[in-house]
A and B are shown apart, each in its own frame.
Chain A
Amino acid sequence: GESVGLHLPTLSVQEGDNSIINCAYSNSASDYFIWYKQESGKGPQFIIDIRSNMDKRQGQRVTVLLNKTVKHLSLQIAATQPGDSAVYFCAENSDSWGKLQFGAGTQVVVTP
């Protein structure tokens, strides 16, 4: 399933399925993007990042896609596990204009 991370929506995913979390970023000058995972009671944990000179980057079970034309970022989680249940935030940054700007977040709930 898909979800747009604008108003902290909830994405329910069955264990073992793939998750897609979307994020629309605001500034066309942003050149660095990060996905964070935040579990209840903890701080944001770095998942993966991507610079604007790339359109895809893969990590362990995660892939980030960047579409600069429409200012869209997505995080794909393969074979979602119960431990993936958390709030996911995208964040954008530019070394030239500074400030890490966070998106609203998406709550991911993994069901057995």
Chain B
Amino acid sequence: DTEVTQTPKHLVMGMTNKKSLKCEQHMGHRAMYWYKQKAKKPPELMFVYSYEKLSINESVPSRFSPECPNSSLLNLHLHALQPEDSALYLCASSQEEWTGGTYGYTFGSGTRLTVV
């Protein structure tokens, strides 16, 4: 299995809702990442987990809360989002933190989030 799987693929939520994005990989990668991507822009780093511990938080607002329950799973909990948070949220993994390995950083297909 050489994939990163993200669910759901699409999500529409109100500004008072609480929702979660999920990411899963079974490649034995020990680093996992959350990126945010706006249309026509490159992905922007949000969080990095290394060996299930939060390594980097790129000054992301607290309405985004990451969680790494185990080495294969990464969640992003969402609460009280704003319309400007609407974007494609991408999960990625790599063998070690910031070590690309044989195939670089593997990205999931993303969750298209719309905040209304």
Q: Which residues of A are in contact with B by a Cβ distance under 8 Å?
A: 8, 32, 34, 36, 41-46, 49, 87, 89, 91, 93-95, 98-100, 102-105
Contact = CB atoms under 8 A, between A and B. Distances in A.
Q: Which 8 A-B pairs have the closest CB atoms?
A: A102-B42, A43-B107, A98-B98, A34-B104, A43-B109, A44-B107, A43-B110, A46-B104
B107 A45 contact: yes
Given A93-B100, A99-B98, 20 more contacts: A32-B100, A42-B109, A43-B6, A43-B107, A44-B43, A44-B90, A45-B107, A46-B104, A46-B105, A46-B106, A49-B103, A49-B104, A89-B43, A95-B99, A98-B97, A98-B98, A100-B100, A100-B105, A104-B42, A105-B40
Given A34-B105, A43-B109, A105 B100 contact: no
A interface, over-half SS: loop
A95 to B, nearest CB: 6
Interface string B70-102: 000000000000000000101010000111100
Contact of A102 (B43, B100, B108): B43
Interface of B: 4, 6, 40-43, 45, 88, 90, 92, 97-100, 103-110, 112
B80 to A, nearest CB: 26
B90 A43 contact: yes
A78 to B, nearest CB: 21
Contacts of B103: 46, 49
Nearest to B102: A49
Contacts of A95: 98-99
A105 B40 CA distance: 8
A93 B109 CA distance: 22
B98 A42 contact: no
Contact of A41 (B98, B99, B104, B112): B112
Contacts of A43: 4, 6, 88, 90, 92, 107-110
Nearest to B109: A43
Contacts of B97: 98
